[in-house]
Amino acid sequence: MKIIQRTSIAFAVAVALTGSAWVAPKTVALNVPGMTCPTCPITVKKALNRVPGVSKIDIDLSKKEAIITFDDSKTSTQALVAATTNAGYPSTPEAAK
């Protein structure tokens, strides 16, 4: 019985160390120069929310910036750029902070 318990603990540690069961969320800031009035961020946010893997969206209208937290294994910065562009708001990723 003890051996089985030790084996399962070792397995759990191995999974935790290799990170196969857990992915760290990634954050990216996109410059969205087309956001010019307070309703623009609503459209941009809606478009980004439809992208699978997106967990958080913060939009700063004064900076014309969208900060997005997403799951790296489900989507990519390029997909986020495509989503805002398709909604009528072309964007470019900012340099990582």
Asked if residue 40 binds Cu ion (CB under 5 A), the reply is yes
Smallest distance from the beta carbon of 12 to Cu ion, in angstroms? Answer: 50
List b or e across 48-84, with b for residues whose CB sees 16 or more CB atoms inside 10 angstroms.
beebebbeebebebeebbbbbebeeeebebeebbbbb
66/70 with CB nearer Cu ion: 66
- Report helix angle 77-86 to 40-49, nearest 10: 130
Smallest distance from the beta carbon of 63 to Cu ion, in angstroms? Answer: 15
Asked if residue 37 binds Cu ion (CB under 5 A), the reply is yes
Smallest distance from the beta carbon of 81 to Cu ion, in angstroms? Answer: 19
Asked if residue 18 binds Cu ion (CB under 5 A), the reply is no
Q: Given the structure tokens 């439809």, which residue do they identify? A: 50
Asked if residue 62 binds Cu ion (CB under 5 A), the reply is no
Helices (H), 1-97: 2-18, 40-49, 77-86
- Which of 5, 18, 20, 39 is the binder for Cu ion (CB under 5 A)? 39
60 - beta bridge partners? 65
Binding footprint of Cu ion on the chain (CB under 5 A): 37, 39-40
